[in-house]
Structure 1
Amino acid sequence: MPSDKDTLLSMGFDIARVEWALKATSNRGLQPAMDHILENQDKPIPDLTDVSALSSASATNNTRGPAAMDEDDEDTEALKAVYGSAGTADGSGMNVDVEAKIKPLTEEEKKQKLEELRQKMAEKRSKKAEQDALDNKANELLRRKAARDMGSIKEELRAKEAIKEAEQKRKDKIADAKAKAAVKAQIEADRRERAEKAAREKALRQGNVQQEATPSTTPSSNPVTSTSGAASSKEYKETRLQIRLASGGQPYTTTLPSDSTLRQVAEFLAGQTLAVDVDTVSFAQHFPRKQFNQNDFTKTLKELGLTPSAVLIAS
């Protein structure tokens, strides 16, 4: 009986590839060896003394599933029908007695059998290519979904950053308005202080002239009046105000010179909150009940009777 090697050689396979296939498949039969030759026909023949290369190929063949083994069995039966029975395998994996002599194949039969095997391998490759295409499509869908999710995360971060930036601009605007109001209030305070100083110096000069013009023997009530007037003018130089918004919220407390105008109070409040406009705001006092409008903005706190302290409602 011809051996598997002789049978493969008679089919026209190269001897080196036949020996490689038999060693790689551990001489498990004609069909596994032929499958190995067809699957690796485009690969270079390794060194047959390299155990690792052979064992890797053998492991690949041994891990095929039941379906693949069934196909091998069918192919083996087909080969038996052409070449004769190859017998069965014992526990050692070696072929045993032959049931019939192998019938030699003609060249036409060899070509036909090889063509059938090549078609079967082509079908396997086609199925594998289709599966690879499906896997690539699934991977592409996952990649696109991940890209969309990343885009959504970036868009959300940009929106949060825009909100944060707008909030910071609003805070900067409020801080800038407060700083401007504080500078303006300081300028007004300095101006009033200079005016009061000039008025005191002028009154002192006029008082000296009047004292020189008055006879010393005549009892005069003017100095007493002047003194009482001066004492009266010194009273309540500052006014403590508590300002509440009609819309509610925390009240604002400040202390201003009693000569400050109601407009300066409005400017102070506008510097504390952007909800107040100096040109449209109005004030009211609940006790005693009074209503102040824009015409009262030029009057001082002393003239409006708000000294030494008052509670105003801004609206």
Structure 2
Amino acid sequence: MASDLDQLVDMGFDREKSQLALKKGGNLPSAIDWLDKNADKSLSDLQADDADEDSSALPDASASAASMVCNDCQKKFRNMTAAQAHAERTGHSDFAESSEEIAPLTEEEKKAQLEAAKQRMVERKAKQAEEDKVAAKRNDEIKRKHTKESDDAKEELRKKEQIKEAQAKRQEKIDDVAAKKRIKDKIEADKAERKRKADEEKAMRANPGAYDPQGAEGAGAGSAAAAATAGNAAAVTALQATRTEGRKFTEARLKFTMPGGSWMHNFPVETTLFEVAHALQEESGMEATSFTQSFPKKVYDKGDFGMTLKEAGLVPSAALIVG
């Protein structure tokens, strides 16, 4: 018949651990309980613990005792080691020495205790598996909660970014509308100014003497004629020079040549080429990207559109090819 040690080895336990378990437990069931309890410890740790216990053990005052009895449940044990295993398993703490010798276990008793020990080990493993399952479920719940909180935070950040982007786009549209309105207002103001000057020029042509600039020229011409009639050539020359110097141009007359035809218009000398291009587009529908002057040869591209007509040298008149 196989010994207790052989049975433990057949059950898959380490031989050296099994030897130590039989030493500690005193019998096969107690050894199984001890092995199950210390399953996580290495052999070297168990041997070190055993050596510490042996070195610190006091003389056994109960050496003459034949057995131990548990006063809590009246169960008897062959030695102190078996009683300690019972105490650890049940929580009982009241033990006493007994002079009664316990008869050796029969094979049937050994087998029954072995089965009971195996059953306890299976139950402990099942309980541990259930506890592990509950812990894993709890960990999954914590992980899901953390993931949901993280996803909620990301979604909240995404919404804030969308709101911020929408606000920026709205502000950009508002700024664009305001800029277009300023340009439109300036163009309208320029149109009104050009109309006023055109009306003024028309009135000047109808009644030259009513306006100082033309009146001065008219008076100068009349004086020059009178001086010529009198034969005063020097006076005529002086008057003509005075008229030329005193004349200041406030407008430029521009002629535009385009693929679809031509257009002629007067602009104030402080009008920019950008404003000229805008007025041309409103008039003809053509978007100008450049203006070319044939003589003297010069090209004005979009980088020059910030110049006024006066700065560009297009006063008092010029012919431009629209590009």
TM-score class, shorter: 0.3 to 0.5
What is the TM-score of this pair, normalised by structure 1? Answer: 0.42
Which protein, 1 or 2, shows the higher relative CO under an 8 Å CA cutoff with sep ≥ 6? Answer: 1
What is the TM-score of this pair, normalised by structure 2? Answer: 0.41
Computing the radius of gyration over CA atoms, which structure comes out larger, 1 or 2? Answer: 2
